[in-house]
Amino acid sequence: MVAKRKARKQKVVKKTNKNDLKKEFMAQCMKHTAMKIVEARGAGRTPHGVAKKLLLEGQVCFPEMNMNVINYTVKS
């Protein structure tokens, strides 16, 4: 005869606001970065060095930031 196991209650992990605040802060930083890029653009094209410099500064705080995120923020 096999003994039945008791069912264990699963622990519920509460969602924290840590990730939400991080995303919100990153969005604000990206808006600021996009404004700097648009200001540097003037009437022509943006120099690639300006965007690259701002990307490297942003990656210090947000390592997951990349050039695609910057381009998307500038376009929107």
* pLDDT-above-70 percentage for the chain: 93
Q: What is the model's pTM?
A: 0.64
Measure the CA–CA gap between 32 and 44, rounded to whole angstroms: 20
Domain limits of the chain? 18-75
Segment (H or E) for 60: helix 48-61
Mean pLDDT of 18-38: 85
Q: pLDDT class for 15, splitting at 50, 70, 90?
A: low
Q: Is the pLDDT of residue 1 over 70?
A: no
Q: pLDDT class for 70, splitting at 50, 70, 90?
A: confident
From residue 26, alpha-carbon distances to 14, 38, 47 in Å are 23, 18, 23
From residue 15, alpha-carbon distances to 9, 10, 18, 20 in Å are 18, 15, 9, 10
Q: Is the pLDDT of residue 18 over 70?
A: no
Q: Is the pLDDT of residue 28 over 80?
A: yes
